[in-house]
Amino acid sequence: MNYESKKDRPCADGREARIWYLYVGDVDARLSNYKGTLLKILEERSVRTVYDCACGTGIDSVMLLEEGYKVVSTDALDVFLEKAQEMKQKREELADWQIGVGDWLDLKSAEVDHPALGYDAIICIGNSFCALPDFEGGSNTHLKALQNFKDLLKKGGILIIDHRNYDYILVHKTFPPKSHGSIYYNSNRVFNIKADLVEDEDISIIFRSDMDVSGTELEGDSDIKLKERDGKMVPTLELNNIPMYPHTLKGFTALLKTAFGEEAEHRLLPDFRENEQEDFVPNYWVHVIVNEQ
């Protein structure tokens, strides 16, 4: 199965992009949660070229372009890429930004020109990688994608990739405590969050939640229902998100070591935080691994 084929993509209309923006919340607030640490990592490795292989609407790509990095951006969903293209067309300084459809399982066919010598860094953040099912079983699909990332990196280049704290979610059936916040998705519109484990051909988790769309263009959507929130009835959109593969911390670390080698330098950051207390419960585990070969 190939995400570059439209029939295999997890969602395919512009409405999804509008919902995603509401789910993200304030863009500046999102970036403030991890921008400093991300830029520090890139600076420490003398990174100049970055491949954002799960760029969505381009929030992180544009931030990196503004910081002077040369960025190539792809995503499997062209409805998100349309938003990125709109942003590019509005700003002359983004004229050299390459944007195109890209499938992790066939990156050679991506609609961009990859540098012949490879990238200094690849980023795949926002729990994006977990949207890839294990089509072949035995994590072979995930390993193929990780190997494709590795093949596009220079020697000494880094992959920055993350996943939700599924160890916590599998036990508690919801996200970690709200007091710790979410580094990517900060909307205060989302409520009634539940996590359902599905064990069919592939193991996956489906997050189900409600979104208060009061005062937005989605308020008149045909799927809107009135639901109680904090004692009030509000126009609500039920979110049945795409299935996510529940990578555990131990399991995903093992996958990275298999793809990059047991001796590869590997760094783990809870919610992009450095020197965090041992009892901190992150929403995301962020991995930084070096291509040593």
Average pLDDT, 10 consecutive residues per value, the chain (293 residues): 36 59 79 96 98 94 97 91 90 94 93 96 96 91 97 98 94 73 77 77 78 85 89 88 89 98 96 84 95 91
What pLDDT does residue 37 have?
97
Q: Is residue 1 part of a domain?
A: no
Examine the domain organization and report whether 159 and 230 are in the same domain. Answer: no
C-alpha distance across the termini of the chain, in Å? 29
What pLDDT does residue 161 have?
98
Edge-to-edge strand ranges of the sheet holding 119-124: 98-101, 70-75, 49-52, 119-124, 153-164, 284-290, 266-270
Smallest Cα–Cα separation from 259: which of 172, 135, 177, 161? 161
Examine the domain organization and report whether 61 and 143 are in the same domain. Answer: yes
Q: Is residue 108 part of a domain?
A: yes
Identity (one letter) of the amino acid at 36? G
| Count of other CB atoms within 10 angstroms of residue 280 | 11
Examine the domain organization and report whether 114 and 36 are in the same domain. Answer: yes
Examine the domain organization and report whether 120 and 261 are in the same domain. Answer: yes
Examine the domain organization and report whether 130 and 113 are in the same domain. Answer: yes
Q: Is 89 exposed, middle or buried (0-12, 13-18, 19+ CB in 10 A)?
A: exposed
Examine the domain organization and report whether 31 and 156 are in the same domain. Answer: yes
Examine the domain organization and report whether 44 and 143 are in the same domain. Answer: yes
Q: Specify the DSSP class assigned to residue 245.
A: -
| Count of other CB atoms within 10 angstroms of residue 42 | 20
Its domain, for residue 216, covers 169-240
- Three-class HEC string of 78-120: HHHHHHHHHHHHHCHHHCCCEEEECCCCCHHHCCCCCCCCCEE
Tell me the three state secondary structure of residue 127. Answer: coil
Smallest Cα–Cα separation from 210: which of 233, 198, 227? 227
Task: Evaluate whether 81 touches 3 at the Cβ level (below 8 Å).
Answer: no
Please state, in angstroms and as integers, the Cα–Cα distance from residue 196 to each residue in 7, 167, 182, 243, following that order: 24, 14, 20, 9
Q: Is residue 198 part of a domain?
A: yes
Q: Is residue 87 part of a domain?
A: yes
Q: Is residue 190 part of a domain?
A: yes
Examine the domain organization and report whether 209 and 275 are in the same domain. Answer: no
89 vs 246: CA distance, rounded Å: 37
How many domains does the chain fold into?
Answer: 2
Task: Evaluate whether 153 touches 159 at the Cβ level (below 8 Å).
Answer: yes
Q: What is the dihedral of CA 251, 254, 260, 263, to 10 degrees?
A: 150
Q: Which of 209, 225, 240 is the last residue of a domain?
A: 240
Examine the domain organization and report whether 60 and 200 are in the same domain. Answer: no
Q: Residue 121 belongs to a domain with what CATH number?
A: 3.40.50.150
When computed from its CA atoms, the radius of gyration of the chain, rounded to whole angstroms, is 19
277 vs 82: CA distance, rounded Å: 41
216 vs 232: CA distance, rounded Å: 17
Examine the domain organization and report whether 181 and 72 are in the same domain. Answer: no
